[in-house]
A = this chain, B = another copy of it.
């Protein structure tokens, strides 16, 4: 028997309509790339988004067409998101920080018909456009005066939408329709396209509002540091208008001073970003002897969160750091380290080990860990296994690939290796591709890295496995020292001693000038492995094997 409830397709245009109508005066503040601050509102951006929709329609863009943006977080980027998906087209967010050859690969793979770019991206476009035959139109996010010189045809955004009507019908299609396209950051291979739906993004945003996730309310002022090209800024592009939070969009400038200034001048209460951005901010704060007036809490994700970050935010600034885990394929938020009742009762110091974990699964998410044969492993908080995930906002497949990405029970393989407790607390121990297999057992490269980087002289640390005749693989620790520091290998081994199992002890410590980072700031183990492929381990005598 069918329920007698209203038909109401969960299409994303509805939530922006809601924001424009009921939070119409709530501000969206953007910093342009030239530093200028521009103030707007949900109502005003809604009108501009409609103009943009009409410009798209006039250009022959329709349902299912890919419209790419190559831009930092700003109000134009925000309105373009809704103007595109409102008419059923697909908003494809390009990450301008990827390597040019990756961007070319992505544009061609997505067959984007249009690119709308920050003027600052002009050189990158000059380089890649000749290799992107599907792109018919290029628009720069500026007015006539701000147009860069180009060897290709391009138009300024402002005049492109200026004469368009502010009304345009949105929605009316199925909630299963695609709304957005986003490629993974390419840390482990070629970037892969995730095709988000109206329904999936809507449900993800709704789910992330809860206190155990982002804890968002209309009283929040949200600084959106995490870029829109990272899974729609972790869904906040949808969740913030859903509740009518004020949005602050920082543009290109992510340095500590710029971020701190925005937090203070706009009364930011909440923000979300990867650890490296927070580290830059904290470095600046210390140097400048500055503080926070309104900031209460930050979410950290995308990479493991260093302990020092959690402690400094808490001890020096009274800001609560909550770690989250997710991937482009999971929309992205899936686990959040919001404390369980018993952990919430502990003193702060005792909570830190929990805060260092990737968090607890949210409702609408199911997790399991499995061995290489796909068999379930115990949820004992100790056994690591491949992390598998299920839910309404989890990818079923990659765009344009026939990967058959789900297992028999409908779970998606995250490519991460983790432990899981019986009450759903998840801790990443590695990427599947980075796991070190020594004597049939797994060694967590991330665990060793996280500890090693805590050494006072370390700037960055990376652990990779190198082939070993007896144990298959053994860990090697790479250390990039802080500027001006000098150290002996033994200092690091001593530092690790007692903090990790004896048979996890790296067989060698290699000091390097620079640990290579990928385009999104993650350690690039592919490149490290290439560089070390001819590396010879020290003589077996100094090696402590598994279960020694």
Report which A residues bind B (CB closer than 8 A). Answer: 1-8, 10, 15, 18, 21-25, 63-64, 90, 176-179, 194-200, 203, 206-207, 209-212, 215-219, 242-243, 246, 338-341, 344, 360-361, 363-364, 366, 390-399, 406, 410, 412, 422-424
Main secondary structure of the interface of A (DSSP, over half): loop
Least CB separation from A401: chain B residue: B4
Residue pair B394, A243 in contact (C-beta under 8 Å): no
Taken together, the copies of this chain in the complex come to 2
B contact residues around A8 at 8 Å (CB): 364, 390-392, 394
Question: Of B24, B212, B338, B395, which is within 8 A of A6 by CB?
Answer: B395
CB-nearest residue of chain B relative to A15? Answer: B363
* Distance between A509 CB and nearest chain B CB, rounded to angstroms: 40
Determine the distance from Cα of A341 to Cα of B176 in the docked complex, in whole angstroms. Answer: 35
Task: Identify A209's interface contact among B179, B209, B361, B396, CB under 8 A.
Answer: B209
Q: How far is the CB of A202 from chain B (nearest CB, A)?
A: 9
Query: What's the least CB distance linking A8 to chain B, in Å?
Result: 4
Cα–Cα, bound, A455→B404 (Å): 71
CB of A18 within 8 A of CB of B217, answer no
Complex CA gap A274/B286 in Å reads 51
What are 11 contact pairs spanning A and B, CB under 8 A? A1-B90, A2-B197, A4-B195, A4-B397, A5-B197, A21-B366, A24-B422, A24-B423, A211-B215, A211-B217, A212-B243
Q: Please judge, given known A-B contacts A22-B361, A25-B423, A217-B212, whether A194 and B6 are in contact too, CB under 8 Å.
A: no
**What is the minimal beta-carbon distance from A221 to any residue of chain B, in angstroms?**
8
Is A3 a contact partner of B207 (Cβ separation < 8 A)? Answer: no
What are the 8 tightest A-B residue pairs by CB atom distance, in nearest-first order?
A3-B197, A8-B392, A211-B217, A1-B64, A209-B210, A5-B200, A22-B424, A4-B195
Cα distance, A395 to B3, chains bound together (Å): 9
Taking CB atoms, residues of chain B closer than 8 Å to A393 are: 5-6
Distance, CA A111 to CA B205, complexed state (A): 39
Q: Are B199 and A5 in contact (CB under 8 A)?
A: yes
- In the complex with contacts A22-B423, A24-B422, A219-B340, A4-B211 CB distance below 8 A: no
Q: A196 to chain B: which residues have CB within 8 Å?
A: 3, 5
- The residue in chain B whose Cβ has the minimal distance to the Cβ of A212 is B217
| Residues of B close to A90: CB separation below 8 A | 1
A178 adjacent to B1 (CB under 8 Å):
yes
Q: State in angstroms the CA–CA spacing of A339 and B243 once bound together.
A: 12
Q: How far apart are A401's CB and chain B's nearest CB, in angstroms?
A: 9
Closest CB-CB distance, A334 to chain B, in whole Å? 12
A216 to B338, alpha carbons, bound, how many Å?
A: 13
A4 / chain B contacts, CB cutoff of 8 Å: 178, 194-195, 197, 395-399
**Is A3 within 8 A of B344, CB to CB?**
no
B341 & A7 in contact (Cβ 8 Å cutoff)? no
Q: Give the CA-CA distance A394 to B199 in the complex, in Å.
A: 18
Distance of A469 Cα from B321 Cα, bound (Å): 69
| Structural contact, A216 and B211, CB atoms closer than 8 A | yes
Closest B residue to A25 using CB positions: B423
Q: Which of A24, A179, A364 has the most CB of B within 10 A?
A: A364
A5 & B209 in contact (Cβ 8 Å cutoff): no
User: Which chain B residues lie closer than 8 Å to A207 at the CB level?
Assistant: 206
Q: Which residues of B contact A215 (CB under 8 A)?
A: 211
CB <8 Å contact, A2 and B194: no
Assuming A22-B424, A215-B211, is B195 touching A1 (CB within 8 A)?
A: yes
CA distance A18 to B215 in the complex (A): 21
| Complex interface: chain B residues within 8 A of A398 (CB) | 4
